Amino acid sequence: MHVLSEERLAPANGIELAYQEVGDPDGEPLFLVMGLATQMIGWPEEFCAMLAERGFRVVRFDNRDIGRSTKLKAAGVPNRFDLFLGRHPAYLLSDMAADAVGLMDHLDIDSAHVVGVSMGGMIGQTLAIEHPDRIRSLVSMHSTTGSRRVGQPTLKAYGAVLAKAPRTREELIKRVERTYAVIGSPAYPTDVERLRRVAGASWDRGHNPSGVVRQIHAIAGSGDRTQALRKLDLPATVMLGTRDPLVRPSGGRATARAIPGSRLRIFEGLGHDLPQDLWPIFADEIAGTAARAGRQAPAKQPA
C-alpha cells in the first residue's frame, strides 16, 4: 500500500511550494501539475498510489497562488480590461513552469515525466518548451495550445468558473458542486461525496480567490504556444474528452497536431474531470508515454 508523505514546503523559484510524494524514491520521477483554481489534493490519493504501483516516484504540489503555496497578494487583482487582453499579468505560465523546475532542484531530480491537467497541461507544455532537459515525457489532459482560436469554453462553463467567490466553507462546497454539474462528464458518474470532501479540505488548506484571478491572467498573458510546440522532441500523449465544455476538444486536437509524434487519446462522454472509472486507463496511458522515453534520463544541462 503506497501512502502519500506528509505535506512539506520547498523553496522554488523565489517562492515556496507545498508538495507531497508517494512511491519508491528511486522510481521514475513523475510530476503531477494541477489546473486552475485547484489544489494538489485534486489529484486523488488513490490515483497517485496507482501511479506509484507502476514504479513512479509521484510528486503532487500546489501551484503558486493556491493552497499552501506562496500567495502573491502584493500583486493585487487585474482589472477586467487587462484580464481579457492578457496585459500586465503578475506572472506567466513560464514562471509557473520554472516553479516546477525549482521543486525538481530541491528534490535533487534532474528530470521528470510530467502530467498536467487543464492549466497544468499548459504549464507542462511550457516546461517542455523552455526547459527541455528537465522533462522526460509529457501527458497533456483537458488542455490547449494557448491559441484563442481553439479550445475556448462554452459560455455556461465560463460563467461557472467566474461565478462570485464564496465567502464560507459551505458556499465553496456548493459552488464546486454547481461547477462540476456543468463541466463534469455526462458519461461517468460524479462522486459527489468525494467532490464535497475535497472542496471542504481546499477551504481548510487555504482558499484564495484573488490567486485564481491571477492564474487566469497568467493563462491569458502567455500567448499561443503552437509554433513552439512544433519544435518539441519528446514522447507526448494528449488526452481529451468529447464533452469537455471548459476546454473544448478542439484545444486538445490542436495540441496533438502541434507536437510531433504525439499520441491522441479521445474519451467519449468525458468532461473536464477525472472520473474514477478511467483512473486505470489514465494510469496506463501515463506509464506507456513514460516507457516511450526509455529508462535513460536526459542529463541536466550546466547553469
pLDDT tens string, the chain, 303 residues long: the values are: 689 999 999 999 999 999 999 999 999 999 999 999 999 999 999 999 999 999 999 999 999 999 999 999 999 999 988 998 899 999 999 999 999 999 999 999 999 999 999 999 999 999 999 999 999 999 999 999 999 999 999 999 989 988 888 999 999 999 999 999 999 999 999 999 999 999 999 999 999 999 999 999 999 999 999 999 999 999 999 999 999 999 999 999 999 999 999 999 999 999 999 999 999 999 999 999 999 998 444 333 333
Query: Taking the CB of residue 2, how many other CB atoms lie within 10 A of it?
Result: 16
Measured distance CA(89)–CA(84) in Å, rounded: 11
- Which one-letter DSSP state was computed for residue 152? P
Nearest-angstrom CA–CA distance, 240 and 31 = 19
| Domains annotated on the chain, with CATH | 8-292 (3.40.50.1820)
Pairing of strands 15-22, 8-12: antiparallel
- What pLDDT shows up at residue 298? 39
Query: Could you give the CA distance from residue 68 to residue 86 in angstroms, rounded to a whole number?
Result: 26
Phi and psi angles of residue 125, each rounded to the nearest 5 degrees, phi first:
-60, -45
pLDDT score at 38:
97
pLDDT of residue 62: 98
**Cα separation, 2 vs 8, whole angstroms:** 18
pLDDT at 163: 86
The pLDDT value recorded for residue 85 is 87
Q: What cell numbers appear for 297 in the block?
A: 534520463
The model scores a pTM over 0.75 = yes
Q: Among all chains, which residue has been given the C-alpha cell 454547481?
A: 178
d(CA 48, CA 2): 9
What is the reported pLDDT for 241?
98
The pLDDT, as a whole number, for residue 141 is 98
